[in-house]
Amino acid sequence: MLGAVATLAGLHHVALSVSDLDTSIDWYREVLGLHEEVRLAGGDRRWAILRLPDGRQVGLVEHQNPGAAFRPQNLGLDSVAFSVASGEELASWAAALHERGIESSGVIETPFGGMLHLKDPDGIALALFWNR
């Protein structure tokens, strides 16, 4: 750690590049329950800030000239993981996603809890994670 620099307080937000801002906002609201705070535009992009119940934020950015499709193997981002409170909640998420026809990995047990993998409309790798 840099000597005189204060300790980080936590993660403020993550911003994801998306191909269609409106479609992605609808998906993150309807599927994950995020709350839309604001939509903005300027220069060669449009973006929105969505809020999780704990106040943390997810930014969605639509660039005028998007690059290649998302792949976890590319440098940059492997996945974004959201927390759930319990193993029961994780199982509930798996059931709800299945009922809505949203493909997921189902609950995967790990030594430290459980996780469930899914993808957003652009194929961005997301996970729901429960710490034991």
- Where residue 18 falls among pLDDT bands split at 50, 70, 90? very high
Query: Same domain for 123 and 76?
Result: yes
The overall average pLDDT reported for the chain is: 92
The verdict on pTM exceeding 0.85 is yes
Query: Could you list the residue range(s) of the whole structural domain that residue 45 is in?
Result: 12-67
d(CA 51, CA 54): 8
Q: Which CATH number is 22's domain given?
A: 3.10.180.10
Query: Same domain for 21 and 63?
Result: yes
Query: Same domain for 76 and 112?
Result: yes
Task: Decide the pairing of beta strands 57-63 and 13-18.
Answer: parallel
Q: How far is CA 17 from CA 72, 81, 88, 112, in A?
A: 14, 16, 31, 30
**The predicted structure's pLDDT at residue 75:** 73
- Please classify residue 62 by burial: count the beta carbons closer than 10 Å to its beta carbon, then call 0-12 exposed, 13-18 middle and 19+ buried: buried
Domain count, the chain: 2
Query: Same domain for 61 and 72?
Result: no
Q: What is the pLDDT of residues 59-86, one digit of tens each?
A: 999 998 877 888 888 878 889 999 999 9
Query: Same domain for 58 and 97?
Result: no
